Amino acid sequence: MRPFSFVFLRGVLTVIFGLLVPLSYAQKLLLIVADGFGGSFYYKYSHLDGLRTFENEGVWSDLLYPEFPSLSIPNRQTLVSGLHPRNHHFVGNVVFNSSSGELFSNFNRPKDFDQKWWRFEPIYQQAAREGASVALFFWPECDVKWSGTRPSLCFPPPSNGSSSLDANNVKNIIAATRTHDLVMVYHAAIKDEAMLMGPQIMTKLSESSVNKLDQVLTRLAAEIRERVDLNLLVVSTHGIVDVPKENVRFIDDYLNMNLVNTTIGAGAVKQIVAHPGKTHQIFNHLRTDAPIPNVKIYYTTPRMGDLPKWYGYARSDVIPELVLIAQPGHAILSKPTSPKQLPAASDEDWSRGMSGYNNEFPDMLGVFLALGPAFKKGMRKGPANLVDIYPLMCHILSLDCPRGDGNMTNIDDVLVVSALTSRAIPLEYYCGCEAKDVVRNPIAVEFVIRAYSCGGQGAK
């Protein structure tokens, strides 16, 4: 335990500096979700002017740990809810609920927008309910049938599927930050390009979608320098790896499909729903008798198998008893003629770039970038967890968000002292524990939270 005098002195200094350097203006937040712009990409493009701005004037980390599976929809829901996939129930881009028999199919069907799939309130709904003005651009969940107050502006992705930030729409986004408290942008162009041609080929292009994003970030950085109220977060929730066609495996070639009721999904992860009484037979066959190269089968029932615990991927109404997980750079699919896959198998199940793999694999890590009056300057943040960003956003916007699975202690070091101490701080944001009190005294925050760290929870 640290000496009492040292901890007490640190708390006193926090109060002094918090009083001397207050954030005098209500803070606004612009969040850009740059899907597919993994940490391994960052180093290849970090020389660009826009990205270099974060290294010199803001905060940056290329060690942002996503949730498993490291796919777009599960991790975007974690970002906006502060919940692990097992709690918000989006455990893939495709989800089958065995209790209801309903299928969520990556926003490809009208039923995907029914509110029954959405068991949580994302930060933009919370903000709107508390009276904040919210604008969303190219946000796939815009058409979800939320109840209650909704964002004042919500533009879904264009019908052609693209959502590219360019010189024209960045003007509209900047204008929105002047009239809205929270502006959120989903940018899918990098992911789409990397999946189409593979990351290695993409990085050899003289003008890729990353270069175009960098131009937008340069313009936004100029806007932030002129403002005292605007903060920018750029978050990539996961990376993408190359998957050569020769690394594709078809489950039909290794298993008698008469044992299977159906499979769900394709790529890095494939769930298996066995016919009654066939679960163990399928497991033994694919684990021992005829294992699929570079693909491993697991039981999802807790304490029954060797599925990595940190995946948090346990048997539930959206996770069957068996799951196949491919090694990074490989994929497990069903043949296009197979009737036993949800949604129906097709040639489009494979792409040159894919995600969804082990969330601790280096090429799966995402990126965290921050710039603005609430953030420190020239700070390289170490490892960070995606789930911890939600309480950070709630704090910047002074929202009374519900307790989630994140731990703000892991990430609050990116804030300047005045931002850290400028509002009442719910203790559960720091601990992810059962604390009910609201800490309004910065001494208590430093003295209790930092000294004891709520049981020593931390980033990966």
Q: How far apart are CA 20 and CA 42, in angstroms?
A: 36
Q: What is the mean pLDDT of residues 18-37?
A: 75
Distance of CA 328 to the CA centre of its chain: 19
User: In which residue are the tokens 């107050």 written?
Assistant: 149
Please tell me the predicted confidence (pLDDT) of residue 160.
66
Of 151-165, 177-191, 266-280, least confident by mean pLDDT is 151-165
Token pair, residue 183, equals 């502006």
Task: Please answer whether residues 357 and 92 qualify as being in contact, where contact means their C-beta atoms are separated by less than 8 angstroms.
Answer: no
Strands 59-65 and 379-380 come out as parallel
Please tell me the predicted confidence (pLDDT) of residue 433.
40
User: In which residue are the tokens 């990085």 written?
Assistant: 203
State the DSSP code for 290: S
Does the pLDDT at position 143 exceed 80? Answer: yes
Does the pLDDT at position 10 exceed 60? Answer: no
Q: What is the mean pLDDT of residues 320-348?
A: 96
What is the per-residue pLDDT across 92-136, written as a single tens digit (0 to 9) for each? 999 999 999 999 999 999 999 998 898 899 999 999 999 999 999
Per 3-state DSSP, what percentage of the chain is helix, strand, and coil (rounded to 5)?
40, 20, 40
Token pair, residue 298, equals 């697991």
Please tell me the predicted confidence (pLDDT) of residue 43.
87
Give the dihedral sign, CA 303/307/308/309: negative
Beta bridge partners of 354: 241
Q: What is the mean pLDDT of residues 296-301?
A: 97
Higher pLDDT, residue 107 or 17 = 107
- Three-class SS of residue 104? strand
Q: How far apart are CA 426 and CA 73, in angstroms?
A: 28
pLDDT > 70: percent of the chain: 85
Does the pLDDT at position 447 exceed 50? Answer: no
Please tell me the predicted confidence (pLDDT) of residue 84.
98
Q: What is the mean pLDDT of residues 158-181?
A: 83
Q: What is the mean pLDDT of residues 403-415?
A: 95
Q: What is the mean pLDDT of residues 21-34?
A: 77
Domains of the chain, earliest start first: 4-83+120-241+362-453 (3.40.720.10), 245-350 (3.30.1360.180)
Task: Please answer whether residues 273 and 263 qualify as being in contact, where contact means their C-beta atoms are separated by less than 8 angstroms.
Answer: yes
Please tell me the predicted confidence (pLDDT) of residue 205.
83
Of 4-13, 328-337, 359-368, least confident by mean pLDDT is 4-13
